[in-house]
Amino acid sequence: MTMRDVAKEAGVALSTVSHFLNGTAPVAPETRKKILEAIERLNYRPDFTARNLKRQKTSALGLFIPDVTNPFYAELAQGVTDVAQGAGYSVILYATSYKEKLEESFVSLVEQHQVDGVVIAYSFIAERLWGRLASSGVPAVLVDVYPTNDLWPSVVVDNEKGVEKALRYLVSLGHTDIGYLSEPPYVLSLVKRQRAFLSFMKRKGLPLRDEWVLVEKTQRNRVEIGFTLGKKLLKEKKRPTAVVASSDLVAVGALKAFLSSGVRVPEDISVVGFDDILLASYVHPSLTTVRQPKYEMGRTGVEFLLQFLQGKNDCPPLTLIEPVLVERDSCQGRG
Amino acid sequence: MTMRDVAKEAGVALSTVSHFLNGTAPVAPETRKKILEAIERLNYRPDFTARNLKRQKTSALGLFIPDVTNPFYAELAQGVTDVAQGAGYSVILYATSYKEKLEESFVSLVEQHQVDGVVIAYSFIAERLWGRLASSGVPAVLVDVYPTNDLWPSVVVDNEKGVEKALRYLVSLGHTDIGYLSEPPYVLSLVKRQRAFLSFMKRKGLPLRDEWVLVEKTQRNRVEIGFTLGKKLLKEKKRPTAVVASSDLVAVGALKAFLSSGVRVPEDISVVGFDDILLASYVHPSLTTVRQPKYEMGRTGVEFLLQFLQGKNDCPPLTLIEPVLVERDSCQGRG
DNA sequence: TTGAAAGCGCTAACAG
DNA sequence: CTGTTAGCGCTTTCAA
């Protein structure tokens, strides 16, 4: 069933049907009725592929993330799909599980113009792919990734401020002996969090012990990392009274390590995470954490992208989203 | 840069370039070289939309789920994207958050042939949409949804067997007083789980008390449901020594309810969940649960779909995936 | 082995 | 307001 069939059935010209369907020209009431009836009779639906070819667009946006299974990216994805769909775009999900081969094929996807634009919440393993993406000319926006060039705007949480909020909170609770547990800082965000921790402690004249700043070297399950690091911390003769973790998953791992060693949280040690994934409120005790507004970051990302696609090219190169400290039950005052 | 440009640049015919690119006819070595050079020089990439129009397909599959943020669907989605991408299809993600309006627009998407096929892991609010989907003629497969017609195959976990495995395990541990906590049974799977529980208890002559079978009426956050139901259970003068929950989220809520009331798990009460989402292993104590192989279910679903798209139309109407009991730390023996 | 030509289903001038 | 027509970029006969 093509538009041609509808036109024939309705006894009007092809273009009239098109105009009617697109509202691109006024159509007489009777003609309109005839067309409507024909469409109904033939159960006609316009073909998007043809429309896209003609309009030179795909009505699809790409979303590039490492892993949907990671609640952080899942929430981001929801933000992205919600606004994209609202604007009439479908979103093509590309989750690579950090496999180089899939990175490659995602880049091909955009090079072949299968998408009108792309939200990238991913740091490539293969550096050279950035270049191919750039030269494809497809508009992109980075989310949770710091700027890599001056082509694409970037939306990230203010990592420094987030860590400071956590630390200020712990200090206000009377803590001075504070540790830091981190997964391998393989992206800039994690580096910034660690630096912010160090800098705050130094600035405030708080004790800064090497044995309290535990940074994992090898990439593996982050809850396990937290668990290992938590156990390690427990082995020190002098323990900190609070720890901040580089992410909620690490925090949850540490929580498990503490609880399973009979160390009570928050009575014996306070814990604060980073991200505020759903999990944070589900564990016991529920986790006090620095919330990254992931959904909003996703939203903002696509909104920029949509603006760009509409020719408005004036979004800021770097947007810092304000993190929020979410107080739950894993912290307690001292003295 | 179109294929025409490449042909001109290489000094050959348009169709020769096409043949070369698709391997659909042999091409002389020199011609081949000229074409390759031209492609290189012009940085040409074939346009997918045009190809799709010609081939009358979209190379895209739709994935319809309520919510990516729900770890169950996230894992399923990963299974789907992994195999779809492997087969050269992109996947369009459609997450509705149970909004009728979005259901509607997803159905339009398939009616307009924006996808070659669709994996549906969703039960519509608006019943009539099933009909529209069916009459669109687009191949579909149901995952985690029981068959609705004889057009589409369905892949679900064997819910009855799952509950039985949980119960058998608890009984083997010496439990006889067992409760059941459930979210509102708004889909068949949940109904089946509840029935399986009831039927097992009756069959084995185990005590079946109304106050121990708590089924929430209103739809809301499932962890909260578990929490409420857990607290309610604690109010009974005689408590069960074990509970099985309709899902991990409910189980986690119950866990929180117990722990925060000073009831120890598993010492005072054993808990088993259903699903085995990541969360299950992250809480403390980690949750013993009935694993639904979600990733595999997603895989299987698309595999069926791909088979269908290749004309092989012989997949079973109903595939029951075997659930697996995952023993962790939330259960303990009695007597 | 290569090339000319006819569309795929739709949009958008343009003319009437 | 309605109709004619020329493509969008590619695939695929069919003939040379």
Amino acid (1-letter code) at residue B223: V
Which one-letter amino acid corresponds to residue B259? L
Instruction: Identify, with chain letter, the residue nearest to nucleotide C13 (CA–C1').
Output: A15
Mean predicted confidence (pLDDT) in B288-300: 97
Whether residue A140 is predicted with pLDDT greater than 90 in this model: the reply is: yes
Residue A82 has pLDDT above 70, yes or no: yes
Cβ–Cβ of A94/B111 closer than 8 Å? Answer: no
Alpha carbons B285 and B297: distance in angstroms, whole number: 27
Read off the pLDDT of residues A263-321 as tens digits, 9 standing for 90 and up. 999 999 999 999 999 899 999 999 999 999 999 999 999 999 999 998 887 889 999 99
Q: What is the CATH number of the domain that holds A11?
A: 1.10.260.40
In the sheet that holds A242-245, the strands lie side by side as: A213-215, A178-182, A242-245, A270-275, A288-291, A324-326
Percent of chain A with pLDDT over 70: 100
Q: ω before B316 within 30° of 0 (cis)?
A: no
Mutate to test the interface with B, among A53, A69, A114 (most CBs of B within 10 A): A69
A176 neighbors A207 (Cβ within 8 angstroms): yes
Q: Is B94 on the interface with A (CB under 8 A)?
A: yes
Average pLDDT of span A32-52: 92
Q: Predicted confidence band at B125 (pLDDT cuts at 50, 70, 90)? A: confident
Q: Does A22 touch chain B (CB under 8 A)?
A: no
Please give the pLDDT value at position B334: 85
Nearest chain B Cα distance for residue A102, angstroms: 8
Interface mutation vs chain B, best among A3, A43, A89, A90, most B CBs within 10 Å: A90
Q: Assign residue B231 the CATH number of its domain.
A: 3.40.50.2300
Residue B252 pLDDT > 70, yes or no?
A: yes
Is residue A216 pLDDT above 80, yes or no?
yes
For chain B, what is the mean pLDDT? 94
| Proximity of residue A198 CB to strand C below 7 A | no
Return the pLDDT at B326: 98
> Which of chain B's residues have a Cβ under 8 Å away from the Cβ of A91?
92-93
Distance (Å, whole) CA B261 – CA A95: 41
In a domain? residue B127: no
pLDDT over 70 at B188, yes or no: yes
Residue A223: pLDDT band (50, 70, 90) is: very high
Alpha-carbon distance of B135 to B147, in angstroms, equals: 16
> pLDDT value at position B310?
87
Assess if residue A139 is contained within a domain. no
- pLDDT value for B313: 78
Where would I find the H helices in chain B?
3-10, 14-22, 29-42, 48-55, 71-86, 100-111, 128-136, 159-172, 188-203, 222-235, 248-260, 279-282, 294-309
| Residues in B touching A284 (Cβ below 8 Å) | 255-256, 259-260, 283-284
Q: What gap in Å lies between CA A147 and CA A131, rounded to an integer?
A: 13
Judged on CB neighbours under 10 Å (0-12, 13-18, 19+), B280 is buried
In single-letter form, the type of residue at position A241 comes to T
Protein-covered nucleotides on strand C (Cβ within 7 A): 1-5, 7-14
Q: How confident is the model at residue A335 (pLDDT cuts 50, 70, 90)?
A: low
Q: Is B32 a domain residue?
A: yes
For residue A232, name the pLDDT band (cuts at 50, 70, 90).
Answer: very high
A104 found inside a domain? no
Percentage of chain B exceeding pLDDT 90: 83
Distances B261 to A284, B163, B254 between C-alpha atoms, Å: 12, 27, 11
> Does residue A117 form part of some domain?
no
Lowest-pLDDT choice from A116-130, A183-197, B285-299? A116-130
Whether residues B279 and A279 touch (CB distance < 8 A) is answered with yes
Distance from C-alpha of B298 to C-alpha of B120, rounded to nearest angstrom: 10
Q: Is the CB of B14 under 7 A from strand C?
A: yes
Would the pLDDT of B113 be above 80?
yes
- Across A113-122, A301-310, B25-34, least confident range: B25-34
Q: Are B289 and B273 in contact (CB under 8 A)?
A: yes
CA of A31 to C1' of D3 (A): 13
Contacts of A256 in chain B (CB under 8 A): 282, 284, 286
Q: What is the pLDDT of residues B195-206, one digit of tens each?
A: 999 999 999 999
Highest-confidence segment of A10-24, A227-241, B83-97: A227-241
Confidence at residue B200, expressed as pLDDT on a 0 to 100 scale: 98
CA distance readout (Å), B96 to B69, B107, B195, B229, B289: 11, 11, 29, 28, 28
- Predicted confidence band of residue A334 (pLDDT cuts 50, 70, 90): confident
Amino acid letter, A34: K
Mean pLDDT of A158-184: 98
Using CB atoms, pick whichever of B48, B78, B284 lies closest to residue A283: B284
Distance from chain centroid for Cα A176: 33
- Among candidate residues B84, B93, B300, B310, the one with its CA nearest the CA of residue A102: B84
Q: Could you tell me how many helices (H) and strands (E) chain A has, helices first? A: 13, 12
Mean pLDDT of the residues in chain A = 94
pLDDT for position B138: 92
Helices A71-86/B71-86 angle, 10° precision: 80
Does the nearest atom of strand D lie within 7 Å of B54's Cβ? yes
The answer to whether position B119 is within a domain reads: no
Residue B36 structural domain: 1-44
Enter the pTM of the model.
0.91
If one counts the domains in chain B, the total is: 2
C-beta of residue A229 within 8 angstroms of C-beta of residue A200: no
**In a domain? residue B229:** yes
Helix ranges restricted to H, B56-99: 71-86
Per-residue confidence (pLDDT) for residue B335, from 0 to 100: 65
- Of B292, B307, B322, which residue is a domain's last? B292
Contact B270, B203 (CB under 8 A): no
Q: Per the domain annotation, does B73 fall within a domain?
A: no
Say how far apart CA B135 and CA B132 lie, in whole Å.
5
Other Cβ atoms less than 10 A from the Cβ of B44: the count is: 18
CB atoms within 10 A of CB A24: 10
